[in-house]
Structures are given as C-alpha cells and as structure tokens.
Chains A and B, each alone.
Chain A
Amino acid sequence: MTTDYNQSQGVAINNILFNKLFPFHVLFDKSYSIISSGVSLLKVMPDIYQKDIRELFEVVLPKNIELNVDKIFDDYKNIDFYILKNKSSLLQMRVIFEYIPEDDIYAIIGIPWVTSAEELKDLKLDLSDFSSHDSMGDMLMALQLQKQTFSDLQEYGVMLDKKKTQLEEAVKLLDTSEKSLQTLLDSTCLGILMTDLNGNINIWNEGVQNITGIKIDDYDKKNLCDLFQLEGIYDNQNLISGQRYETKIINTNDKVNENIIKLTISPITDLNNSVKSYCHVFRDITNELKLESIMRENEKSMAVSLLTGQIAHQINDLLQGIHTNVDEAIDYIAADLVKDETGSIKTILKNIDEQSTLISKITNSMLSFSGQQYLSKKNYDINELIYNVIHQDDYQDIDKSIITLNLSHLPLIMEGDKKAFPTCLINILKNSSEALVNTKSPSIKIDTYVALEQELIDEDIKTSDYICIRIKDNGKGIKTDNLNLIFDPFYTTKIKTTQGMGLSFVQGYIRQIGGHLRVNSSYGLGTTVYFYIPLSTNINQNTFDL
C-alpha cells in the first residue's frame, strides 16, 4: 500500500500530543544518540538520555538483523516491524523505525511486547501507561480470556475423565449385577420371562420351563399371548396405567400334571415413567391351593361338630322329657289308672322307650364327635385297655390273629373314659380290617410308647408328655386326595357303612381329652394311625379304675 503523504495537509504535532500518542517512543540522531523518549518508557528505563541506542537495544526478531539505520531503510525496507530487546532488562519492544526529515532524526515508535498482565506488572507498568487508542489492553484481556478458556477446557477434560471412570465402574457393576441376576434367575423356582410391549419374548429362565412344561427353545422370538392363549392381555387397564396385574392360568401343556399357575405381569418403566417392557413371573400354586382347601375343610368340620353338639344337647333334653313321660305313663298303666285291655298301649310305650334310648345313643355319639360329651374321667393304663380289646371276644368282625402287639413295658397312664378309648381303637381296627380285605398277608401292628420329642415338634404339640399309640396296617391305603376327607363325618368310601361317624367320632374324643390324631397313608402300601394322648398328671391319686 502506498500513500502519497505529500498530497495530504500536514499537521505539526507538538511534543505533548506526540508523547500522549506514543508514550513508549524513542528519538535518536544520526550518531545513534538518544534525544528524547516517551514518559512511559522512562518509567522502565529512566537514564537513557544521550545514550547510544545500540548499546541499550538489540534486534531479536527477525533474526540476524543489525541495528543499523542505513540497512534498516535500505536493505531491510520490506521488514514490517522489529522486536527490540533491552540488553539490561526483560523489556522487549514491538517497534517500527521512522525517519523525520524535518529534524533529520530517527524515531522508534512502538510499545512493550508482553503476552500477559503479569509480564506488564513485572515491568512495573499498567494499562494506563499505554495510549488510549492502543488496543494493548484489549489484547491482554483477550489473552487472559484465552487462558481462562484453556483452563476451563482443562477442567472440562478432568471432569470428562472422571465421568469416564465413573461410567467404566458403572459398566463393570452392571456386568457383575447382570451375572448375579442370571444366577438368581437360574436358581429361583419362579419362572421369570420378559417381553416387549407386544408380548414378544426376549429373556426367560429355566423356571418357566419347569412350571409350564414348555421347552426352552420354544420361546425365542415367540409371542407370550400365543404360547399361553392370553390374547388381549396387554389391553388390561392396570397394565396400561403402569400397575401390575395378576391372573391365574390352568396350564394343560403338561399332559400328565395339569397345574394352576399364578401369573404376575409387572410393567417395567424407563426414567421417564413410560412402560418399555413387561416382566412376567410364573408361580405354580397348585399345592398352595390344595393346602388352602384342606384348611377350609378343617374349619368346616369344626363348625359342623359345634353345630352337631348343639343339636344333640337339645335332642337330649327333649328325650329326657319323653323318658319321664313314658315312665309316668307306664306307672299309670301299672296302677290300673288307665285301662289297657289289649296291652297295646304298653307295647307302644315300650317301643317309644326303646327308640328313644336308641336316639339317646346316637346323640351321645354325636356329642362325642363334637367333643362335648361329658365323659367320666379316670386313670387307665393304655396297655391294659388295648390288651383287653384284643383278647375279649366282643369284637367279632375283627380278625385278631393278624394283630401283633408291641406294648410298652411301662404302664402308660391316660386320663379318660373307660369305654371311649376302646371304642376309638375298635373304630380304627375296623377300618384297617376293611382296608385289608384283598391284601395277601394282612397284618396290623400296634405299638405303644412315650412319644418322642421330635414327633411332637413335628405335630406342633410339645407342651407336655404324650403317649403314642401307633396302629399300622399293610392294607390298600388311602388316596392322597381323600386323606383330608376321612375326618369328615359324612364321608365314606364304603357303600354301606356300619360305622356311621367313624373317624370323626375318634377325632372328636381324642381332641376332647387334649390329644391328637394323625393319619399317614400311602395308596397301595398301607395306613398308619397315630394317637397322641396326654400322659395323666395325677397318677398318684387313687383314680384308677380297671
């Protein structure tokens, strides 16, 4: 760029203005002797007046340049600017050289060259030492900002590093938790299966196969709804609103054992609470349901026994009335107060008396079943009672030759009614005999002993000592399904029963004396009945009755 300065109108600049514009300038003459300098430069280099400029400064940039005005204005005239360095201090100046023909002198115009506010401070300078038009301040600020930005970035880097480590750790954790999840999935007896929103299966464990009976290879990419005939299950309002949903499936896939499965579907949501997949938990509840029904049966039989007791009491009261009336009627006839010429009234009354005695027996056994009969309480040795039953001729319908006794050598004293326990025993023996009808070498074994502690713990009765009477046959046994029904007063497997209330009477009585009855049976192998009866606590009193 060339400007024809001769064409423009010159302005004479006074010293003060020149100084204000160029506070770091130096003027020197042809002999390199300094004539004057700017105020700000004087702050850094106070004694430069009349010194040789070449002794104070050297050119550091460009390289290998001599501080020689002839060369500067001739050979080096294409060089834009120079960096001069003060030989005795840190000061470096960014300058240009000018010739002032009016005074035949040279001028160095420039500013200290610094790249940070700190360097400026080292020179004991600040921004106010620069001319206002000079953008040194802006440059320093820009540089400061650059530094700041750089340190921000470093901070950013450190943070990213930290995040990266955290992420790596999280991934590791995820890895291990995935493994432990897998172990968990493998070890649980629950069936766990994940699907997408449309029921397409993507994860499952072996439990699903165990419970449903459907082979593992069948699952991949298959749809749950098709496998279990659950069309439209995902339209369920609970699931749509993100809540879990439970249903029961009767599973017929396993042809041998039909089972009942409880299926719980839980929606899995992401961080934004929108449902992303479904988790299905399969639980085989067949046994649970069975247990539940047993419990219900038990409760039912308790209720029935209570009701039976109440009815029996009322009938008994009425019978009492009938008896008294019949007795009185007979007395009247006997005293000839009433004519009974044919004797038919007497016969009718006798019939009434006999039938009411029969009813009385039935109500008694009803009361026994309900555990409410006021039976007499005396001490008996169980061994003796059993021995008597087996060796008396009374009970003809029991084949006593197949019975083996293994009675305890110690007397086992129970407190109760003289007849009730033998009745119970005979009840059981009758049942056994019937179960033994088609057995090749039938046998019934009767043991007595003081119940073992573990037995009692198993039976959940451990407050005191018990006698155990075990009656074991090798008959046809009872089907598992029927086992919980045998105490039902109206249950029977026999078409025609002689026994009426059978086992429920036995249970009623045993309960009444604080005992416990257990029946173990394997279908085809035989049945074992256990009586647990409390050992009498007042043996020393003279209450024996044999």
Chain B
Amino acid sequence: MYGMVNKAIQQMVTRDHGEDAWEAIKNAANVKEDLFLSNTSYPDSITYDLVDASSKYLNIDAELILIEFGKFWVLVTAMEGYGGLMRAGGNNLKEFLLNLPNFHTRVSMVFPELIPPTFEVHNIAVNSLDLHYITHRPGLQNFVVGLIKGLSTMYEVETEITLIANRDPDTGKGPDVFRIVW
C-alpha cells in the first residue's frame, strides 16, 4: 500500500497517544523506516504489522483500531489532503456511495501502483443500499465500517451498518456485503 496509508496510521497514533507511543509501536512492528513517503508503495505487511502492534501496545482491539482508522482516513487524511476530490464524490452520502465504484479509479490516475478495492452498490432504496466490497486483502472489513462512519459524519447523517454477507472463507473470493441504512 502507498506510504500515505502508513503515514495516516502514524498521524492518528501520534495525535491520540503521542510520539513515544508511535516509536514504541514502530519498534514492536519491527519497522525500520524512519518515515513513510506518501507517494511510495510499501509492502502490505508493514501496514498489517503496524495495526497489530498498535493493538497490542495500546491494548485496544484491532477491530476498533481499524474502525477508528477508517474514520480518520475520511475525516482527516482524505478531507485535508484531497478535499476537492472528496467533495466531488457527491452532495450527500447516497450520492457519494453511488459514486464510490469510480472513486479509486480517479485515485489510480495519480497513484499508478494502486491496488484498490472494488465497490459495487446493489438494492438501492430511498434510505438504504447494499455496498459490496471486494478485495484480495484479508481482514479490512472493519476499516470499511470506519470509512462509512466517517462519511456519515462528513455528510452529517446517522447510519446503521450491518455486515450481511461474508466472502467465501476458504477461497477469500466474493464480496463482503454491508447493508447501510440512514
């Protein structure tokens, strides 16, 4: 994943727990990099190790960290760095979610090595829809939950997010389906 992801984790940890915590986490994760470059691709394992080490060091469940990180990603990283892009995503949550399938395509224009997830929207109703999330990366479902929560905050709506179907546990194929009701 691009360095901006690890950098965002760093920003979140330092903001909430201070520099020392971050250094300790980085050591525990055995990360040798002094700092991450946004525009450089790093192995996914670094990101996973950082989440793992944060969870152990801060004594917070990894799921909770991923949710918090999703919110942080939308409300801080994306909005501060790519506000125009985010605003262009739609005038309300529904519009944004409908546009989401295109979202990373645009991101790919400037991050040529991006391996983005795929999103599909189904069962679109007035105040609900099913968001299908497809990726080869394991264990990031709660990150998606956090991202949607972040978007809800951004558009100032209350949402209810339920994971109603999982990808095939053996092959990892197929979507995780989130029902989003607002």
Binding site for B on A (CB under 8 A): 117, 120-121, 126-128, 135, 137-138, 140-142, 144-145, 148-149, 152, 155-156, 159, 163
Contacts and interface: CB of A to CB of B under 8 A. Distances in A.
Interface in B61-92: 81-85, 87-88, 90-91
Interface residues of B, number: 22
Contacts of B3: 152
B109 interface: yes
Contacts of A138: 106, 109-110
Given A138-B109, A141-B107, A141-B109, A152 B37 contact: yes
B106 A141 contact: yes
A52 to B, nearest CB: 32
B35 A127 contact: no
Which DSSP category, helix, strand, loop or mixed, fits chain B's interface? helix
Nearest to B83: A117
B158 interface: no
9 contacts: A121-B84, A127-B85, A128-B88, A137-B85, A141-B82, A142-B109, A145-B111, A152-B36, A159-B35
B39 A149 contact: yes
A148 B106 contact: no
Contacts of A156: 35, 37
Which DSSP category, helix, strand, loop or mixed, fits chain A's interface? helix
Interface string B83-118: 111011011000000000000001101110000000
Nearest to B34: A159
Contacts of A145: 38-39, 110-111
B43 to A, nearest CB: 18
Contacts of B36: 152
Nearest to B87: A126
B39 A155 contact: no
B34 A140 contact: no
Contacts of A141: 82, 85, 106-107, 109-110
A140 B84 contact: yes
* Among all A-B residue pairs, the 7 with the closest Cβ atoms: A127-B88, A117-B84, A126-B87, A138-B109, A148-B38, A141-B110, A128-B88
B4 interface: yes
B84 A120 contact: yes
A149 B38 contact: yes
A141 B81 CA distance: 9
B106 A152 contact: no
A144 B88 CA distance: 15
Contacts of A126: 84, 87-88
A137 B84 contact: yes
A141 B103 CA distance: 13
Nearest to A119: B84
User: Which of A141, A142, A156 has the most chain B CB atoms closer than 10 A to its own CB?
Assistant: A141
Given A138-B106, A141-B106, A141-B110, A128 B37 contact: no
Nearest to A163: B34
A44 to B, nearest CB: 15
A55 to B, nearest CB: 30
